[in-house]
């Protein structure tokens, strides 16, 4: 994706010159930076999962924290919670279309991190060595 | 940008099945979710700036917090600090090539936030109204 710039300016198109905490960019970042959100989105990208499967996919998550994060993702319309017509009744979690659309910017972040993590590490070593 | 999937899987290519806090994706997200990082990157996307200009661009930032955030961005190799040969000597901050490359995933996040913030708000209202 190319960065477009405003005519006569080097500021990217659509940049929030004064970006408050409530702006969509920072709200989205806040959501993604949440401790378990990335792990859950990536796990659910592979298809619907039961609570136990998600817990196994998020090594170290507590039951309470997983419940809270899933509720929060459900509240934001990113995850769908479905009661299965099984005996005994089960619950399955899956990404909504909205949740699935969030995989795209998440992939852009991941690609940057993978490509440039070594550059960041080198810069830190150099800075700390001054 | 299209999402590619692993052969025989619905998991995006390159997903970290078990993503610890130290993984590049979460480190990058953590960096971006920092209170003033987005505002600073967007302000510097418009060209090099003095400390006072950056402070004016980040409404509400304290001098201490701005100094800390700039140091942290400089340490990560995202921002360059240059002493200007002016009288009196001044200091200018600018994005490095690495910092500039981070504008691209940031733009992907912004685009998603802008396009879907209303969907998220609607989902929240609906969830809270149940």
Q: Which pTM does this prediction carry?
A: 0.80
> For residue B20, what pLDDT is reported?
56
- Angle, helices B103-128 vs B24-33, to 10°: value is 80
> For residue A22, what pLDDT is reported?
65
- CA separation for the pair A51, A60 (Å, rounded): 14
Are A107 and B1 an interchain contact pair (Cβ–Cβ within 8 Å)? yes
Cα radius of gyration rounded to whole Å, chain B: 19
Closest by alpha carbon to A36, among A90, A93, A112?
A93
Q: Are A79 and A99 in contact (CB under 8 A)?
A: yes
CA pseudo-torsion sign B21, A116, B42, A16: negative
Which of B10, B18, B117 has its CB closest to that of A46?
A: B10
Q: Would you call B91 an interface residue with chain A, using a CB distance cutoff of 8 Å?
A: no
Mind telling me how many Å the CA of B4 is from chain A's nearest CA? Answer: 9
Which of B38, B77, B120 has its CB closest to that of A119?
A: B77
How many CA atoms lie within 13 Å of A63's alpha carbon, on the beta-carbon side? 1
Which chain A residue lies closest to B28 (C-alpha atoms)? A113
- Angle, helices B37-45 vs B24-33, to 10°: value is 80
Helices vs. strands in chain B: H and E counts, helices first: 6, 3
Best B111, B118, B121 member to test A by mutation, with max A CBs in 10 Å, is B111
Are B105 and A104 an interchain contact pair (Cβ–Cβ within 8 Å)? no
Best A8, A11, A28 member to test B by mutation, with max B CBs in 10 Å, is A28
- CA separation for the pair B121, B128 (Å, rounded): 11
Q: pLDDT tens, A71-83? A: 999 999 999 999 9
- CA separation for the pair A120, B22 (Å, rounded): 13
> For residue A7, what pLDDT is reported?
44
Q: What is the ipTM of this complex?
A: 0.81
Q: pLDDT tens, B67-99? A: 999 999 999 999 999 998 888 888 999 999 999
- CA separation for the pair A101, B59 (Å, rounded): 32
Structure tokens at A4: 């477009």
Q: pLDDT tens, B30-63? A: 899 888 999 999 999 999 999 999 999 998 899 9
Residues of chain B with Cβ-Cβ distance to A106 below 8 Å are 25
Q: Are A48 and A94 in contact (CB under 8 A)?
A: yes
- CA separation for the pair B19, A57 (Å, rounded): 9
Print pLDDT tens along chain A (130 aa).
444 444 444 444 444 444 555 688 988 998 998 889 999 999 999 999 999 999 999 988 999 999 999 999 999 999 999 998 888 888 999 999 999 999 999 999 999 999 999 999 999 999 999 8
Closest by alpha carbon to B51, among B71, B67, B37?
B67
The helix/strand/coil state of A91 is strand
Mean pLDDT on B110-128: 96
> For residue B90, what pLDDT is reported?
87
- CA separation for the pair A3, A12 (Å, rounded): 7
């Amino acid at each position: 994706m190319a960065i477009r710039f405003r005519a006569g300016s080097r500021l990217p198109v659509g940049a929030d010159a004064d970006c408050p905490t409530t702006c969509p960019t920072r709200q989205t970042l806040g959501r993604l930076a949440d401790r378990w959100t990335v792990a859950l989105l990536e796990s659910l990208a592979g298809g619907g999962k039961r609570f136990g499967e998600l817990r196994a996919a998020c090594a170290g998550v507590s039951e309470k924290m997983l419940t809270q994060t899933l509720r929060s993702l459900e509240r934001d319309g990113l995850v769908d919670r479905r009661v299965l017509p099984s005996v005994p009744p089960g619950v399955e979690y899956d990404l909504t279309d909205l949740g699935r659309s969030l995989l795209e910017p998440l992939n852009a972040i991941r690609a940057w991190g993978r490509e440039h993590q070594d550059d960041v590490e080198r810069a830190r070593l150099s800075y700390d060595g001054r």
